[in-house]
Amino acid sequence: MRVIDELGYRPRAAARELSAGHALTIGLVVTDLSNPFFARLADRIVWEARSHGVQVVLMTTQEDPHLEADSLDTLLDRSVSGVIATPTGGNIEKWRRLRDLGVNVVFIDRAIEELEDVDVVSIENFDSGQRSTEHLISLGHTRIGLITGPLTTSTGSARLNGYRAAHRNASLPVDPTLIRDVPFRGDAGGDAVGSLLAMRQPPTALIVANTAQVQSSVRRLVQMGTDIPDQLSLIVFDDNPWTELTSPPLSVIRQPLDMLAVHAIELVLGRMHGKLPDGARRIEVKADYLPRNSCAPVTAPVAR
């Protein structure tokens, strides 16, 4: 021990991994880090992992299944003992194989229907969609726009279902032309905003129900000089650091990133140490509605 200290000896990770057959490393696979949601999620995960002596290898997919497939191969080569990912939706077989090979997989933020035996940590998507819609309905809005990610994603469909349920409960019809499911990448959010406001009977309220579309949507609203909240009430998903710096400050659905990260890490590490019972876990944490000043009652009653 004294000599170890004197020489500053440190065991070599590669040798240990080769001998053990697996690495004290997890892979983190997210879309990209320019989305503040994923960035802060990554920050929390790296932080939590560190406190357990686990390193994080970071890979980004740009929502592209090919890049995702590459990432998974690479992580497999590295014998990572776990993967935390926001899956693109593709590579079903690859994910399954990864899991069968003993890699602990945890999906965060979204799920994949076909992979029911994979752990998932997410917010209560249905509930978030419902509550934000209900809030706008309670302000008298009857034409509420919804911008969401592709409906093939679990977040997209669950939030839309919440939106629908809120309408149903209020005995309001759902106008399908107010619903825009758009791709994650590019300026799709902005375009959806443009076309919604150009409608003959435009919505009086808007929910941007995916973090990937918030920035481009808000940018477009600012460019168009839309008067918020008088002309349009607005709720966006996820409390970015800047949502309170706009005028007016935006009412948001706040996703509890810390909880998501902590649960994800605990699932991965728990399975690593075999401390968890078999069977997939689905953890849903509540997302709060944080009212600020971007929502107001409808100004004029809507003629029908």
**What residue ranges bind its own copies (CB under 8 A)?**
10-15, 17-18, 23, 25, 28, 32-34, 36, 39-40, 42-43, 46-47, 50, 55-60, 73-74, 76-79, 215, 218-219, 222, 240-242, 244-247, 249
Which of 82/129 has CB closer to its own copies? 82
* Closest CB 90 distance from DNA, rounded Å: 26
**What count of other Cβ atoms lies within 10 Å of the Cβ of residue 235?**
26
Our finding on whether 19 is near DNA (CB under 7 A) is yes
Which of 73/114 has CB closer to its own copies? 73
- Chain CA centroid to CA 215, Å: 14
Our finding on whether 16 is near DNA (CB under 7 A) is yes
Which of 67/285 has CB closer to its own copies? 67
Residues 209, 202 contacting (CB under 8 angstroms): no
* Angstrom distance (rounded) from CA 18 to CA 196: 57
Which of 20/170 has CB closer to DNA? 20
Among the listed residues 1, 7, 12, 304, the single contact to DNA using CB under 7 A:
12
CA distances from 45 to 7, 25, 41, 302 (A): 33, 12, 6, 47
* Angstrom distance (rounded) from CA 265 to CA 59: 17
Which of 103/136 has CB closer to DNA? 103
Among the listed residues 10, 200, 275, 304, the single contact to DNA using CB under 7 A:
10
Give the binding range for DNA (CB under 7 A) out of 10-18, 89-97, 108-116, 243-251: 10-18
Burial (CB < 10 A; 0-12, 13-18, 19+), residue 143, is buried
Torsion of CA 235, 140, 183, 30, to 10 degrees: 30
* Closest CB 269 distance from DNA, rounded Å: 18
Burial (CB < 10 A; 0-12, 13-18, 19+), residue 231, is middle
Our finding on whether 15 is near DNA (CB under 7 A) is yes
Binding site for DNA (CB under 7 A): 9-12, 15-16, 18-21
